[in-house]
Structure 1
Amino acid sequence: MPSLPLTRRSIFAQAWPIMLGQATVPLVGLVDTIVIGRTGSAAALAGVALGTTIINFTFWTFGFLRMGMTGMTAQAEGAGDTAEVRAMLARGVMMGIVIGAILFALQVVIVPLAFALFAGGETLDAAARGYVAARFFGAPAGLAGFAIIGWLLGLGRTRAALLLQVAMNCINIVLDILFVWHFGMGARGVGLGTAIAEWSELLIGTVIALKIAGPGTLAALRAQGAGLFDRAALKRLFAVNADIMIRTIALLFLFAWFANAGARLGTVPLAANQVLMQFVSIAAFVLDGFAFTAESRIGMAIGAGSRERFRRAIRLTGEFSLSAGLVFALVTLIGGGWGIAAITDNAAVRDHAEALLWFTALVPLIGAPAWLLDGIFIGATRGTALRNAALLATALYVGTDLLLRPFGAPGMWVALLASYVFRALALGGYLPALTRSIAQTPERS
């Protein structure tokens, strides 16, 4: 693939398909929430929130399959190493399937432990258990899908990633509505619809990836044989991914702590947080368009050994990211009340959510620097910095939340906002050293 130009037009051209594709991810969660929320049952809505938290914690523990794949693929592409680009695809998909199969086998241990750790209660556990059990069916496909998406993003093939995400999420939405409203399967139907959609994504994604990799890819991979599992390549892969895994666990713990804090306040606050987190998810996923673009551009700049491209990639993606954060903050403030009313019929949940709306509106603005810096360091495959920043931010967040606990729900949201500041400051401290570490090589034509 020819070198991508570093202009505002090219950055936006690369980012908009990611933004559109990412917007469909929380849309699925929004549809799930509406399907349950329109029943008027706060307990059912809170149960889906609890189940989603458990699944996100479990699956996204292995989010390195997406993040590590993007940075390492982009660096291989920037260095012009076609064989390694193909090898990364094979390694990532195989690793995702194996890890997912292990999760599926271990669910008899994982699920009871998860429900023991989260403060839900008997009613909420019953509503969430069917959803969680159904989602584990899709674990191998879901984790392999992480790797394919990461590979596509690393190559800057954002339109292909968009096609894959839209196809998967449309299948998901249709099946969720069919299973819940037509067959009356409740929360279990939501989980089953998502699992089947994940298997569909793996099939479609494999076809797309092989087409992009070019004719003769399968033959080339067979010819590489044992080279796919080269010791040095695997050592680097596992070293980077181990740090990203720790980073991901720390951040998942942070959001699980936030969800559990809502559960401690009662069913209505937990349900209201689930409604408000739909706004946060939409903003985060769409702004990730610029963070993911940064991952690709940063990785390619490092692979090519260009400090100038590295700095320009940061500046251009940063301009877009901060501007989008401001826009989302304003949109949430202006349209948030209508959005809350569209999601749930429960008056108590509505009132509670509306009282906290302005905290939610600040998340995209305050969170934008942290999300962008994540993209920079993921593209650079600097796992140690990502790990240390996440551990520090999570520890400081927990301390802040405990300190603000007497203030109830507002204190919870102030602590969450502070967590983004902690993470941005921690990663920002590593940025000068990262810039100095880029070895300058002559620019490729």
Structure 2
Amino acid sequence: MIIANISIPLLGMVDTAVMGHLDSAQYLGAVAVGSIIFSFLFWGFGFLRMATTGLVAQAFGRNDTTLSHTILLQSLVLAIIIASAILILKQPLSQLAFLLIDSSEIVSQQARIYFDIRIWSTPAILINYVFLGWLIGKQASKAALVLVLVVTISNMIMDLVFVNVFGMTIDGVALASLIAEYLGLITGLYLLKRHGVTIKLFKRLSSKQVSLFNWHWLQLHANIFIRTLCLMFSFAFFTTQGAKQGDIILAANAVLLNFITLMAFVLDGFANATEVLSGKAVGAKNRSQLKQSLLLTGLWSFVVASLFSLSYLFFGQQLISLMTSITDVQTTANNYLPWLMLMPVVAVWTYLFDGLFIGTTRSIEMRNTMLLSTLCCFLPAWYFLQPLGNHGLWLALLLFLAARGVSQCFYLPRILRMY
């Protein structure tokens, strides 16, 4: 799963690198703005993946195949409903997004091109979330890896072909993402069939009058949705505040955020392992297995986070140069590199505990800690640190991640006592 997770931020880094080597920082800024909009639209519904993983992992621990198939059907129906609503409301969503993100007119024009193309990938992305969550919960990690790699590698190749061969710009990057997601959807259908999931199976579930929705299931999704919205709000707010400081700051922050995203998805690989192992332990009612899995994944998470911090310390400037050839953007990004070095060792605990909370389906605790960190730490910190400019913005983000880890740790003894 770590390999699968690494491929996702690598895709964003390729997008940034392709745009970063064109002749204007506006293209890089447009990718940043477009990406943050779709992060809100798509990552906001990441509960489709997370809740599916936690519930299926617990069903797997109980050896309940019928329940795991029922969860898959429920999640797919919800994904299709949400995707349909987004496409119907795409115009007002676009207007609201660009109203809230105060970027320059040139950047906004390019970002709108990106939005108008990529929005049509919504059904494929949300359904792929469900496929991925189900495969992870079933411990079919190789199949999950195949699904992610098909999307990522095809997207990377088409990025380079559309921009470097056909001379496209922001439209080429968006079109590459659109096509890649539907290739992933086709791959996901094939992988599920390999794991015994067919249309006939869904018809049998329907004939048994399986309830598509229940209160616990809806509450779980709603709490994770609120948690994810708070997380995405914080990063979107970070991007918009950077945009208000100019296109160069916006582009520099976008470059550095790519490295944070890479770190986050690698650590999320350990979080995914924690989800599956803790969910299986809860399903089997094995407390010692739950504690052992948390200790093991926690140790390896911290080791990897420390390696990221050291890599950014010794090779940060070289990595930035790989992402963009624009001198002003390079110089500006280097000024804020120290914040990037601190992020991994501070943020590592949030990803570990997220995995535990998802696997044990403790969604209320996830929601509460995120609301507390966003409303009582991140926003007040940003407000009082405004005189420090972009340094204050980065410090507020660091404090936000620290607050998440500390508040989640508060619930840890209670969760371990429950199982």
Query: TM class, shorter-chain normalised?
Result: over 0.9
Contact 1:97–1:141, Cα closer than 8 Å, also in 2: no
Structure 2 counterparts to residues 207-356 of structure 1, below 5 A:
207-213=190-196, 217-225=198-206, 227=208, 229-230=210-211, 234-356=214-336
User: Hey, what's the Cα distance between the residues in 1 that align with 2:318 and 2:104?
Assistant: 31
- On the 8 A contact 1:156/1:293 being kept in 2, the answer is no
Report deviation, 1:60: 1.2
The 8 Å contact of residues 272 and 353 in structure 1, kept in 2 or not, is answered as: yes
Instruction: Please tell me whether the aligned partners of residues 49 and 271 of structure 1 are also in contact (alpha carbons under 8 angstroms).
Output: yes
Q: Distance in 1 between matches of 2:201 and 2:116?
A: 39
**Other-structure match for 2:412:** 431
1:407 aligned residue:
388
Hey, what does 1:386 align to over in structure 2?
Answer: 366
How many angstroms apart in 2 are the aligned matches of 1:120 and 1:211? 46
- Cα displacement (A) at 1:101: 2.1
Q: Deviations over 1:81-100 (max 9, x none)?
A: 11011122222223222311
1:225-255 deviations in Å (ceiling 9; x for gaps): 1547426x53222110000000010111010
Is 1:148–2:131 an aligned residue pair? yes
* Aligned match for 1:166, one of 149, 161, 171: 149
Per-residue CA deviation, residues 158-200 of structure 1 (Å, 9 max, x unaligned), is 1111111111111111122222233333212211210111111
Residue 23 (str. 1) matches residue 6 (str. 2): yes
Distance 2:192 2:345 in 1: 35
Q: Which residue of 53, 73, 77 corresponds with 2:56? A: 73
SS in 2 for 1:167: helix
Following the alignment from structure 2 to structure 1, what is the Cα–Cα distance between the partners of residues 400 and 373? 6
Change (3 A) 1:63 1:226: farther
User: In structure 2, what residue type is equivalent to 1:343?
Assistant: M
Q: 1:35 aligns with which of 18, 21, 30?
A: 18
Mapped to 2, the partners of 1:368 and 1:264 lie a distance apart of: 29
Aligned to 1:127: 110
Pair 99,227 (structure 1): closer, same or farther in 2 beyond 3 Å: farther
Counterpart contact for 1:329–1:361, Cα < 8 Å: yes
Tell whether the 8 Å contact from 1:142 to 1:198 is kept in structure 2 after alignment: yes
Which one-letter code corresponds to 1:382 in the other structure? R
Q: C-alpha separation between the residues in 2 aligned to 1:212 and 1:190?
A: 33
169-178 or 246-255, which moves further after superposition?
169-178
Q: Deviation string for 1:66-89 (max 9, x for gaps)?
A: 110110000111111110111222
Give the corresponding residue for 2:403: 422
Matched AA of 1:423:
R
Distance 1:160 1:262 in 2: 39
- Cα pair distance change 1:402/1:160, threshold 3 Å: same
Distance 1:227 1:402, change over 3 A: farther
Q: 2:166 aligns with which of 179, 183, 189?
A: 183
Between the aligned partners of 1:181 and 1:98, the Cα distance in structure 2 is 37
Distance 1:33 1:220 in 2: 42
Give how far 1:330 is off. Answer: 0.5
Measured in 2, the distance between the counterparts of 1:425 and 1:304 equals 29
Aligned CA distance change for structure 1 residues 431 and 213 (closer, same or farther; 3 Å): farther
Secondary structure in 1 matching 2:195: helix
For residues 350 and 185 of structure 1, what CA distance do their matches in structure 2 show?
A: 24
Deviation of the 1:207 alpha carbon: 1.1
CA deviation map 1:351-376 (0-9, x unaligned): 11111112101111110001100111
Q: Deviations over 1:104-157 (max 9, x none)?
A: 121011001100011113111001111111111100010000011111111222
Matched residues in 1 for 2:299 and 2:208: separation? 41
- Shift of the 125–229 alpha-carbon distance from structure 1 to 2, 3 Å rule, reads farther
Task: Name the SS of the counterpart of 1:381 in structure 2.
Answer: coil
TM-score by length of 2: 0.97
Name the residue aligned to 1:7: none
User: Is the CA contact (8 Å cut-off) linking 1:40 and 1:344 kept in structure 2?
Assistant: no
Q: Considering only aligned residues, what root-mean-square deviation do their CA atoms show, in Å?
A: 1.4
Q: Which of 96, 99, 108 is the equivalent residue of 2:79?
A: 96
Indicate the SS of the match to 1:62. coil
CA–CA separation in structure 2 for the residues paired with 1:206 and 1:93: 12
Per-residue CA shift, 1:382-406, capped at 9, x if unaligned?
Answer: 1111111111111111111111111
**Distance change (3 Å), C-alpha of 1:226 and 1:111:** farther
Deviations 1:406-428 (A, max 9, x none): 11111111111111111111111
The more displaced of 86-95 and 282-291 is: 86-95
Q: Which runs of 5+ in 2 are unaligned?
A: none
- Is the 2:104–2:247 contact (alpha carbons within 8 Å) kept by the matching residues of 1? no
Q: Distance between the aligned counterparts of 2:85 and 2:172, measured in 1?
A: 23
Alignment partner of 1:199 is 2:182? yes
Q: Does 1:139 align with 2:122?
A: yes
